[in-house]
Amino acid sequence: MPLSPVRAGLLTALTVAALTLVACSATPEPVVTEDALPSPNATTPEPTATPDPTKDPEPVSIGVPTCEGIIPQSLIAEYEAAGWSVEESTFRVGGLEITEGVQCLWGDFTVASDHVQLFGWAPITSEESGAAQAELVSAGWRSETDDRGVIVTESTDTTVATDDEGYGLTYLFGDGWVKYADTKQSLVLVEWPRS
């Protein structure tokens, strides 16, 4: 018995709907594009070396220290507001000159005055550090150790200006670096590399 046109249309519509549901529920095949393939130039990361505790640390070398970089910007703003500028030179400790370091004298150089501030920072090897400390101590400077490193400060006999604790010009020798300031308390202002 032939189907009526209404039933034939209904049956066709149901068949199309069923086939559509089956097609929609099937998991599509992943499409691989060139972006998804590994690059022929891709490299495997190199393992990082573990420091050898028996070797001396290398001098710290992160960027180039500058007079505007080793002290806080807020302090520089205060100096500039007071009409101060900076004279930058190579870092010196005793007879050792460290060209990778910087020594900075801040003050008003338009007038004759001893009212200045001195800051410095340099990378240093353990051999250079030991030799510089020995040279300073033999010239009458005092040496002591605290939790930051070795502090070497000028003799009280030659000190012109001191902080609240009586310290004048002072070096702080750390692990691969040395700081310098006009007083021990001012050493806290010297920070390089900046975090």
pLDDT bin (cut points 50, 70, 90) of residue 17 is very low
CATH number of 73-189: 3.40.1000
DSSP letter (8 states) at residue 57: P
Across all residues in the chain, what is the average pLDDT? 79
Q: Between the CA of residue 117 and those of 9, 39, 42, 62, what are the distances in Å? A: 97, 56, 52, 25
Q: Given pLDDT bands bounded at 50, 70 and 90, which one contains residue 121? A: very high
Counted residue by residue, the chain has a size of 195
Rounded distance, CA 71 to CA 92, Å?
18
Tokens at 80, concatenated: 């500039």
The domain limits of the chain are: 73-189
- Categorize the per-residue pLDDT at 193 as very low, low, confident or very high, splitting at 50, 70 and 90: confident
Per residue in 20-70, pLDDT (tens digit) is 433 444 444 444 445 444 444 444 444 445 555 555 555 444 689 999 999
Residue 10 binned pLDDT confidence (cut-offs 50, 70, 90)? very low
| pTM for the model | 0.68
Judged against a pLDDT cut of 70, whether residue 162 lies above it is answered with yes
Which residue spans within 68-141 are E strands per DSSP? Answer: 85-93, 96-107, 116-123
pLDDT class of 124 with cuts at 50, 70, 90: very high
Rounded-to-integer distance, Cα 191 and Cα 193, Å: 6
